[in-house]
Structure 1
Amino acid sequence: MGLEQASAVQEKIRVVRMEQLLPRIGRSFRIKDEEIAVFRLSDGTIKAVGNKGPNKLGPLAEGTVSGEYVFCPVRDCRVSLIDGRVQEPDEGSVPTYATTVEDGEVFIWV
């Protein structure tokens, strides 16, 4: 396995049961030295992003969710839960993580 392939290997980590995630309320989890914010959107979709806002201070799990965005509680900018980008005119981004739900269990790929 080459270096490029080794860095692309991801692991599926169980984080929580689906019913423990309230719609539009974030929860943070520490996974492999990273703090990840997990959200259950109004339509039931699960999204996961790095918990530190684009200014590296605001805990996004404590932010207000509106549609597919979360407002950073410190900087008051909108962060996309789809691609991690901050909505213009602000700048920046946060990492995003793939999620799956199996038998009511939520998994994050890291």
Structure 2
Amino acid sequence: MTIFVDIGPLDAIPRQGARVVKTGQGCVAVFRTMDDQVFALEDRCPHKGGPLSEGIVHGTLVTCPLHNWVFDMNSGAAQGADEGHVRTYPAKLQGGRILLDATLIRARSAA
């Protein structure tokens, strides 16, 4: 069973924007879509290490700001001819608050 921790209000992230959360497993980009879905991905493109949190959100996809690789935020898989994958993390919205997998946060405090 996944335990979640509150990382802040949905309104802290603009629609089609992101926020970076530093965790024990590295930086995680938490995205908000135009229709208020939330996703959490590793904040590093496997192609050239670009910060996905600075990418362009369109639907449930995010485009890397460096070389335009496109990732599905549901699966972390690269789209089109690109090959690659970014790690996804459990995230959800509850009562206007964003909740992230607590094991990410716990790993940070143990370091």
The TM-score, its normalising length taken from structure 2, stands at 0.83
The structural deviation recorded for 1:44 is 0.8
Q: Cα RMSD (Å) of the superposition?
A: 1.6
The structural deviation recorded for 1:14 is 2.2
Check conservation: 2:39, 2:92, Cα contact below 8 A: no
Count of aligned positions? 102
Q: Name the SS of the counterpart of 1:27 in structure 2.
A: strand
Aligned 1:86-101 pairs, distance under 5 A: 86-101=78-93
The structural deviation recorded for 1:104 is 2.2
Residue number among 34, 39, 42 corresponding to 1:42 in the alignment: 34
Aligned 1:4-23 pairs, distance under 5 A: 10-23=2-15
The TM-score, its normalising length taken from structure 1, stands at 0.83
State the partner residue of 2:45.
53
For residues 97 and 16 of structure 1, what CA distance do their matches in structure 2 show?
16
Unaligned runs of 5+ in 2: 104-111
Which gives a bigger RCO, structure 1 or 2 (Cα 8 Å, sep 6+)? 2
Q: Percent identity?
A: 27
Unaligned runs of 5+ in 1: 1-8
